[in-house]
A and B are shown apart, each in its own frame.
Chain A
Amino acid sequence: DTEVTQTPKHLVMGMTNKKSLKCEQHMGHRAMYWYKQKAKKPPELMFVYSYEKLSINESVPSRFSPECPNSSLLNLHLHALQPEDSALYLCASSQDPSKQGTFYGYTFGSGTRLTVV
């Protein structure tokens, strides 16, 4: 299995809603990532989990709350979002980050296209 699976593919939510994005991989990767991508912009790093522990938070507002229940799953909990948070949210995974000499890059999921109304 060489895939990263994200659900849902599309999500429309109101500014008072609470929703969660889910990401799953079964490649044995121990690093997982959340990126945000707006139209015609590059993916921007939000969070990095290494061995199920949060290692990087790129000063993301608290209305985004990541969770890594186990080595295969990564969630992003959303609450009280703003319309400007509408974007493509990409999950990615990579192999053991302690072996940087053999870092082969990320595998991305297909993303969740989020619209906040």
Chain B
Amino acid sequence: RKEVEQDPGPFNVPEGATVAFNCTYSNSASQSFFWYRQDCRKEPKLLMSVYSSGNEDGRFTAQLNRASQYISLLIRDSKLSDSATYLCAVNNPNQAGTALIFGKGTTLSVSS
């Protein structure tokens, strides 16, 4: 089992749709979870941290399920500008400090 796995997509949705991505991780000792957004040929940018109780930032909701070892990202009312690749990142508890392992990313394409 790979350390961090994501469905690569692409997810093609119309404007206004709700879309959800999942990301599974293999090490149950991981403690830090993030969603990053990466536009084509750009650097990843932090979208949101994922907290145990779940958290929301505008149209974006992130959740953590420790029992099943996955995190999710829900995007409501999709905008054209949401089109990007969404990377999940999980800390590697086998390494000291804050080394993050990234999933391969899920590509979202929002169309009008």
| Residues of chain A whose beta carbon lies under 8 Å from any beta carbon of chain B | 31, 33, 40-45, 48, 50, 55-56, 88, 90, 94, 97, 100, 103-111, 113
Contacts and interface: CB of A to CB of B under 8 A. Distances in A.
B67 interface: no
B101 A48 contact: no
Contacts of B41: 88, 113
Contact of B100 (A106, A110, A111): A106
B95 interface: yes
Interface stretch (B14-22, B44-52, B57-65): B44-52
Nearest to B4: A42
B32 A100 contact: yes
B104 interface: yes
B49 A31 contact: no
| Among B44, B91, B105: residue with most chain A CB under 10 A | B44
B99 A56 contact: yes
Contact of A43 (B45, B46, B96, B102): B102
Interface in B85-106: 87, 89, 91, 95-105
18 contacts: A43-B44, A45-B100, A45-B101, A48-B97, A50-B96, A56-B95, A56-B96, A94-B98, A97-B96, A97-B98, A100-B32, A100-B91, A100-B98, A103-B32, A105-B36, A105-B89, A110-B42, A111-B42
